[in-house]
Amino acid sequence: MSQMNIIGMRDIDESRYKSREKIIDDIKSILDKEGYSSVDFPLMEPTELFVRKAGGNISDRLYSFTDPGGNKVSLRPEFTSSVIRSYIDQDGDVNKVKKMQYFGPVFRYSGIADGSGLRQFTQQGCEVIGSEGIKTDSEILSLAISSVAASGVGSISVKLGNLGIIRSILVEKGLNETLMAFTLSNLSSITSGSENIHNVVENAIKLGLVVDEVEDENTKKQSGAESTGLIQYLMSDTLSGNTGIRTKEEIINRLISKYSKEITTTTYKDALDALNDFLNLMSGDVSGISINENDPAYSHKAFRYVTDLISDIKVAGVDIRYEVDFGTSRGLTYYSGLIFDMEFIDSQKVVAIGGGGRYDGLVKSLGGKSDVPAIGFAINIDTLLDVISGTDSK
């Protein structure tokens, strides 16, 4: 490799260029038939736009700089933020459904040896704004699978989750908004066993989010400064980097003020145990999941959602393995319902091809007047091309 080359960015020869264009054209044709209009957006946007959407999940991977006019800007790491920003700028009619499709280069920094692959790649996808319900969820999932199948990939694994159902369980168990946010930020720990659940509870006690019944009154409450420091540390993925218009301190103080009643450690641990049981139940190949009459109503609801979601999806030419994973931690900062990931799996490796989900609160979060239902998916075209050609994206 020439010393002038940037790691993670590569030249495209004529053969690969033509192959990539064919995949893009085939996917575009699929989306055209379903009424998705073609749109495009600037390669650069204000840094704040991307950080407000994804928080710490993306801020350390942005290519950001200050332009000659003193504005903080970033190369786009994805399209959804620009789609929603444009919708807000056009004062979108909440009563009208908008379907948009796009493709183009995106940029995400990755370390030399972290296995992330390309730092510049072509992303293609679509978004639906203004439509809610499982019918739209199923449409997006079906289009995503059909788009991958059009490339010639013979088999894929599709992981399915739903953050909306997780939130509803936590509400049923009596958790307030602050404790729910803390719990979701520790979702991977909760699914890792009783010892980690104990650690989550202990951290919640230190933050003053729950009350330990066995401690005296003087140790029940943390000072504001201690709580702020601990929240910043434990929720660094969510609150790192630029947080938009509000400061970190304002966000933290808002979170702390949101809970209005004391929740005991017993109540919280019972909630985490119930959540852990649910996550273990709703895990693995969908054909192997069994719900019986003694399981909680929310387990029946979740299983019915998954089966209804995939029941009418028929895509020719591809073998689809559906795997349920309600414990996924991807996109916790903005997803509100369905989350899915598509992967190619062979004997040697697992390759992430694309994914999507529902984000009904993103329009308001980025400056809109109200929440608007929205959902979409995106595919890494370069990774998809690597899979069908048997090459490596690094």
List, for residues 338-375, the tens digit of each pLDDT value.
Answer: 999 999 987 678 899 999 999 999 999 899 988 999 99
The total domain count for the chain is 1
Q: How far is CA 181 from CA 135, 212, 269, in A?
A: 28, 20, 16
Q: Is the per-residue pLDDT at 36 higher than 90?
A: yes
The pLDDT of residue 171 is 92
- Is 266 inside any structural domain? yes
Contacts of 247 (CB under 8 A, 6+ apart): none
Contact present, 270 and 173 (Cβ < 8 Å): yes
The pLDDT of residue 55 is 61
Higher pLDDT, 16 or 389: 16
The pLDDT of residue 333 is 67
294/292 Cα distance (integer angstroms): 6
Q: Is the per-residue pLDDT at 260 higher than 70?
A: no
Closest to 80 in 3D by CA, of 362, 368, 386 = 362
Which structural domain range is residue 174 located in?
A: 168-280
171/180 Cα distance (integer angstroms): 8
The pLDDT of residue 56 is 58
pLDDT in tens, 220-231: 444 444 555 545
- Residue found under tokens 């009904």: 360
Per mean pLDDT, which range of 85-94, 171-180, 319-328 is the poorest? 85-94
Per mean pLDDT, which range of 200-209, 252-261, 270-279 is the poorest? 252-261
Task: Tell me the one-letter amino acid at 295.
Answer: D
In this prediction, residues 15-29 reach a mean pLDDT of 97
Q: How far is CA 157 from CA 13, 64, 322, 353, 389, in A?
A: 30, 34, 6, 10, 19
Per mean pLDDT, which range of 194-198, 254-258, 284-288, 295-299 is the poorest? 254-258
- Is 187 inside any structural domain? yes
- Is 257 inside any structural domain? yes
Q: Is the per-residue pLDDT at 217 higher than 80?
A: no
The mean pLDDT value of the chain amounts to 85
Quote the tokens at residue 32: 């055209």
pLDDT > 90: percent of the chain: 56
What pTM does this model have? 0.84
The pLDDT of residue 76 is 96
Residue 63: pLDDT band with limits 50, 70, 90: very high
Quote the tokens at residue 183: 């719990």
Quote the tokens at residue 31: 């989306």
Q: Is the per-residue pLDDT at 70 higher than 90?
A: yes
Residue 91: pLDDT band with limits 50, 70, 90: confident
- Is 304 inside any structural domain? no
The pLDDT of residue 380 is 96
Residue 7: pLDDT band with limits 50, 70, 90: confident
- Is 220 inside any structural domain? yes
325/102 Cα distance (integer angstroms): 28
SS3 for 261-305 is CCCEHHHHHHHHHHHHHHHHHCEEEHHHCCCCCCCCHHHHHHHHH
Task: Tell me the one-letter amino acid at 210.
Answer: V
- Is 17 inside any structural domain? no
Strands 98-107 and 37-38, how do they pair? parallel
pLDDT in tens, 163-175: 999 999 999 999 9
- Is 177 inside any structural domain? yes
- Is 213 inside any structural domain? yes
Helices (H) and strands (E) in the chain, counts: 16, 12
173/229 Cα distance (integer angstroms): 27
DSSP string for residues in 67-119 = -TTS-EEEE-S-SHHHHHHHHHHTT--TTS-EEEEEEEEEE----TTSS---S
The pLDDT of residue 181 is 86
